[in-house]
Chains A and B, each alone.
Chain A
Amino acid sequence: MRSSGWFPRTMLAVGVTFLYAPIVSMMVFSFNNSRLVTVWDAAHSPTLKWYGELLGNDEILGAAWLSIRIALIAASGAMVLGTLTGVALARFGPFRGRTLLVGMTTAPLVMPEVITGLALLLLFITLQQAVGWPRGTGMLTIILAHITFCTAYVAVVVQSRLVGFDESLEEAALDLGARPGTVFRRITLPLVAPALLSGWLLSFTLSWDDLVITQFVAGPGSSTLPMVIFSKVRLGVSPDVNALATLMVLLVATGIIVSTLWMRYQNRRRERDVRLAAAANH
């Protein structure tokens, strides 16, 4: 393949700079002593004082803990539902309700969040009046809402992974008399395992980060981390948010790098197995 000209490569450099400059600036100023955030106080910086302040802030810590619990449950729920959806869409051929399922799992990808949030809250309130459940809004309703929009993302990831593999392996196992459940456990599941991992991580991030939908379905008592951050930064820049952002960027970067290395290792191992199997056949 021919390489691109100077113009696309320049734009790529400009674009990557554009993507990273704000993050880098935020990280740098998290070590700034001045409360004026954007004025570098050379005499007293770098300092870790905002990190100390952050760790002493019970509101932020409590919200972070709530967000982590919600994201763990929502990501796991979305992984199960999204996998079922992806398997059904990629493997079952035409079935009744397929078009509906496709529609309902692609619309959340682009639906403006204010609309989804409003709709979900009205659902919870209507349900509460009709059947008395869920009792009020809070962690439970946030989790239900997050599972719903995360499922769509997992479904896309799982489906595209399954479409990339043909069905012959599963068919062969069925022909050899394996039960469908066994085929799913022994063949389909290992095939989609990397997609499950990325789907889970994606859902965790989306849930952890969501503000708009959460604001609608959270009760007065439950503030997630994005809600606390939003109410802080609406009033202007605040240095301990810079410290928080830096910690989150470092955490995410570490997580991504580790999972990428793990997936590369898995791929290499599978390739080696395939080579060994091919050699054994000769």
Chain B
Amino acid sequence: MAQNLHSLNQRGRRLVAGIPLVWMILLFLLPFLIVLKLSFSQERLAIPPYAPFLEWINGLPHPALHLSNYAFLFTDPLYISAYLYSLKVAAVSTLFCLLLGYPMAYAIARAPGSRRGMLLMLIVLPFWTSFLLRVYAWIGLLKHDGVINNILMSLGVIHQPLTMLQTDFAVYVGIVYSYLPFMILPLYANLEKHDGALLEAAADLGARPFTAFLRITLPQSVPGIIAGSLLVFIPAVGEYVVPSLLGRTDQLMIGRVLSDEFFENRDWPLASAVAILMLLLLVIPIVLFQRSGVRQIGSHP
């Protein structure tokens, strides 16, 4: 009987784990292998617009591996500058997210228990409303005859409207704005667990609050900082919507370049190479995130 139960249990377990495993292999892992393969292929004016992977020479299959797409990425300065610009935008936005999000998470974690739930809800609520529409809202605020310029002019602070839309500033604002909850939640999950006794001990020993913060709270919150920063930085590198709606037109981010190569130029192999190179840039942050980040998010209900 027990043996029976055990085997049933085993079979059930295999099924429970097997279904998502097969699904994700088919729809997540396999597609990346296809992108990888296609990035070594050559563009062709046909449907589909790329050369087959296997060339038949004397009746024998030869894999057709072309490095020309990658070579092209490194020769045309457009791509290098788009990669570097994307990394810069993501890094600066992550830093501002952290500078704004850390004190916010800290204040929530130290708020009385009854108010914490409500404050967290306030942070998360905008996340539930459309990302696209929230980015769009900034057009109305930032544009030349927009709300911010109108208010500043009527207050007499400025006499000429400021150019804010289609600048780096607008992209930073848009990314910080839309990713802020992703920074706050892991930080809050970390800060909430801190032991107040340590800080009290530090205070009893004569440490000033700021010193105690630097020596005790900050080092303990490093895992939260790492998780939050990765959760903002990685998707921000490939961000498409924010730079398309708010960003510069003379300097594209790499997500936009990928999309244009695919949809406008219909160069699928080159678009695949752009994607693979972006993945290579992000592979270390992604592995770091899987090691540390998920535990941080997971600890938050």
A interface list, Cβ under 8 A from B: 1-5, 7-9, 11-12, 14-16, 18-23, 25-26, 29, 36-39, 81-82, 84-85, 87-88, 92, 95, 97-98, 100-116, 118-120, 122-123, 125-126, 129, 144-145, 147-148, 151, 155-156, 159-161, 163-164, 174, 179-181, 205, 208-209, 211-212, 215-216, 226, 229-230, 233-234, 236-237, 241-242, 244-245, 248-249, 252-253, 255-256, 260
Residues in B26-45 with C-beta less than 8 Å from chain A: 27-32, 34-35, 38
Q: Which residue of B lies closest to A120 (CB)?
A: B31
Set of chain B residues within 8 Å of A229, measured between Cβ atoms: 130, 132-133, 136
Distance between B22 CB and nearest chain A CB, rounded to angstroms: 10
Q: Which residue of B lies closest to A100 (CB)?
A: B21
Dominant secondary structure of chain A at its interface with chain B: helix
Question: Knowing that A212-B255, A216-B262, A245-B136 are A-B contacts, what are 11 other residue pairs whose CB atoms are under 8 Å apart, sorted by A's residue number?
Answer: A4-B107, A8-B106, A15-B103, A22-B177, A38-B146, A88-B13, A88-B17, A95-B13, A106-B289, A115-B258, A209-B132
Query: Considering the chains assembled together, what is the distance between the CA atoms of A14 and B177 in angstroms?
Result: 12
Asked if residues A106 and B290 are in contact (CB atoms below 8 Å), the reply is yes
Asked if residues A9 and B107 are in contact (CB atoms below 8 Å), the reply is yes
- Can you spell out 9 A-B residue pairs with CB atoms less than 8 angstroms apart? A12-B119, A18-B180, A38-B147, A106-B289, A112-B282, A115-B279, A160-B299, A179-B8, A237-B136
Set of chain B residues within 8 Å of A5, measured between Cβ atoms: 209
B interface list, Cβ under 8 A from A: 5, 8-9, 12-13, 16-17, 19-21, 23-25, 27-32, 34-35, 38, 48, 100-101, 103-104, 106-112, 119, 121-123, 125-126, 128-134, 136-141, 143, 145-147, 150, 177, 180, 196, 199-200, 209, 230-231, 234-235, 237-241, 244-245, 255, 258-259, 262, 268, 271-272, 275, 278-279, 282, 285-286, 289-290, 293-294, 297-301
Q: Which residue of A lies closest to B130 (CB)?
A: A209
If A22-B177, A110-B286 touch, does A11 touch B104 (CB 8 Å cutoff)? yes
Set of chain A residues within 8 Å of B286, measured between Cβ atoms: 107, 110-111
Dominant secondary structure of chain B at its interface with chain A: helix
If A12-B108, A110-B230, A160-B298 touch, does A180 touch B5 (CB 8 Å cutoff)? yes
Asked if residues B130 and A245 are in contact (CB atoms below 8 Å), the reply is yes
Asked if residues B290 and A107 are in contact (CB atoms below 8 Å), the reply is yes
Distance between B78 CB and nearest chain A CB, rounded to angstroms: 16
Query: Considering the chains assembled together, what is the distance between the CA atoms of A125 and B50 in angstroms?
Result: 12
Q: Which residue of B lies closest to A88 (CB)?
A: B17
Set of chain B residues within 8 Å of A151, measured between Cβ atoms: 20, 23-24
Q: Which 8 A-B pairs have the closest CB atoms?
A: A112-B238, A119-B31, A22-B137, A11-B103, A8-B107, A88-B17, A4-B110, A123-B31
Asked if residues B196 and A104 are in contact (CB atoms below 8 Å), the reply is no
Distance between B182 CB and nearest chain A CB, rounded to angstroms: 9
- The contact of B9 among A104, A161, A180, A208, by CB within 8 Å, is A180
Asked if residues B23 and A81 are in contact (CB atoms below 8 Å), the reply is yes
Query: Considering the chains assembled together, what is the distance between the CA atoms of A98 and B35 in angstroms?
Result: 24
Query: Considering the chains assembled together, what is the distance between the CA atoms of A237 and B9 in angstroms?
Result: 58
Asked if residues B290 and A129 are in contact (CB atoms below 8 Å), the reply is no
Q: Which residue of B lies closest to A216 (CB)?
A: B262
Distance between A28 CB and nearest chain B CB, rounded to angstroms: 9
Distance between B244 CB and nearest chain A CB, rounded to angstroms: 7
Asked if residues A87 and B129 are in contact (CB atoms below 8 Å), the reply is no
Set of chain A residues within 8 Å of B240, measured between Cβ atoms: 113-114, 212
Query: Considering the chains assembled together, what is the distance between the CA atoms of A179 and B38 in angstroms?
Result: 48
If A22-B141, A38-B145, A110-B235 touch, does A209 touch B131 (CB 8 Å cutoff)? yes
If A29-B140, A119-B31 touch, does A234 touch B259 (CB 8 Å cutoff)? no
Query: Considering the chains assembled together, what is the distance between the CA atoms of A119 and B33 in angstroms?
Result: 8
Set of chain A residues within 8 Å of B300, measured between Cβ atoms: 160
Asked if residues A110 and B177 are in contact (CB atoms below 8 Å), the reply is no
- The contact of A119 among B32, B140, B199, by CB within 8 Å, is B32
Distance between A55 CB and nearest chain B CB, rounded to angstroms: 18
Asked if residues B177 and A230 are in contact (CB atoms below 8 Å), the reply is no
Asked if residues A241 and B136 are in contact (CB atoms below 8 Å), the reply is yes
